[in-house]
Amino acid sequence: MEQGLKEAIKWINGELQDDPKATIGLLIDKASQQFNLTPLQTDFLYREYQRKGNRPKPE
């Protein structure tokens, strides 16, 4: 997994831990910009976080 994507996942998971009611779509959009993710990486995050109860972890 690419470093930017790993960092984005860590950041999103941290934000969700601080505020479990946070809007995942907004967090993904913010992470996408902050970590300079490609559209494909951003789509990956949307798909992974849509899975019920799934929180991707960096490898």
pLDDT digit string (tens) for the chain, length 59 residues: 799 999 999 999 999 999 989 999 999 999 999 999 999 999 999 999 987 555 666 55
Domain boundaries, the chain: 3-50
31 vs 47: CA distance, rounded Å? 15
**In this structure, which amino acid lies at residue 33?**
Q
Other Cβ atoms within 10 Å of 22 Cβ, number: 13
In this prediction, residue 50 carries a pLDDT of 86
